[in-house]
Every structure is written in C-alpha cells, then in structure tokens.
Copies of this chain bind each other. A is one copy, B any other.
Amino acid sequence: MACSRFAVAIHLLTLATLAGADGTGRSGGAPTSARMAESVGTNPVVVRRLLGLLREAGLVTSRAGPGGGWRTTGPPEGTTLLDVYRAVTCDSVLPLADADAAGACPIGREVHRALDAVVAEAQAAMERGLAAVSLADILADVRAGCPGCEVGPVASTTRLAGEAP
C-alpha cells in the first residue's frame, strides 16, 4: 500500500505552497525537486515521481530550466486531503481479493458480494473524513507550529552547497 507517500505528498505540497505563494511574488520561489528532497530526507527522483502523480491530478505544475521548479495550481483551500490521497494511492484501502470471488464455493461469492457494500460504505466514511480537511487547514497548523517556516521554507538547510554566500 502507499505507506508513506501520503504524508510525503502533503509535505511537498506544503513546501510548494509556502515557497511559491509566499506573497513576495518573487519568481525564484518555486522549489526544485532537489531542495524538496533535502527537506523531506529522500532522493530527488523519488520527489519527482511523487510530484508527477500530483501533477497528473492537476494539483501542481512543473517548469524545467534554471529558476524552474514546482508550483501549486490553485489556492490551498481548493485541494482537500482526499484529492491528495487519491492522487498518490493506487489501490483501495480494503482491497477485496477478486480471486476469492472466482472460487468454486458459492459461499465465497456471496461473502464477497455482501462485503462489497460494507467495505464501500466504510471506505466512503473514511474518505469523507479526508475530504473535510483542506491543504489550507494543514498549512494553518504548520504555521502555528513553526512560525518561522514561511520565511525560509527549509530553515535548517537554507544555505545549500552550490549557493554562493
């Protein structure tokens, strides 16, 4: 299952929002996959793969070349956690093995059919919980928890290796 992808995706969207729409309007605000990877603690390729899923979902855009990077497409109020969850999660939360339905035993088919409705409702309940929270809510929590974050997106790694002092 998509284990850590969900949390990392929220992290990346938070970084893109804080740096890209920070109110200063400077063009260098779009963070690169390398910076994001350093912040998250993983590889730039992993970040690009994950952001690629978010781009397919229409949540971010990318631009190549110097000064390029990743930006969110809309205001953080417009994207819910369910949008992010669906973008980065491939399979269902409670995947019912289709192999069970193919068994010769009629009980298997009936159990599968009865379970389908229950699981669908349980999953819908979970998705309603995710849909009730937007990226803006998460951002508000982050800003409340570390007020200095919006100034320097990655406080502990503001000075990167290749940057001139």
Seen from chain A, the residues whose Cβ lies within 8 Å of a Cβ on chain B are 1, 3-4, 6-8, 10-11, 14-15, 18, 39-41, 81, 93-97, 99-100, 102-115, 118, 121-130, 133, 137-138, 141-142, 145-146, 149, 153-157
Contact across chains for A145 and B18 when beta carbons are under 8 A apart: no
- Cβ–Cβ contact A145 & B95, under 8 A: no
Q: Assuming A111-B7, A122-B126, is B157 touching A105 (CB within 8 A)?
A: yes
Closest B residue, CB atoms, query A104:
B156
| Residues of chain B with a CB closer than 8 A to A96's CB | 4, 6-7
Is A141 a contact of B156 with CB atoms below 8 Å? no
B10 pairs with A104, CB closer than 8 A: no
Q: List 27 A-B contacts (CB under 8 A).
A: A3-B95, A4-B97, A4-B99, A6-B115, A7-B96, A11-B100, A11-B108, A15-B107, A39-B103, A39-B107, A39-B108, A41-B99, A41-B103, A93-B93, A93-B94, A104-B156, A106-B149, A106-B155, A107-B146, A107-B153, A111-B138, A111-B142, A114-B138, A114-B145, A123-B129, A125-B128, A126-B126
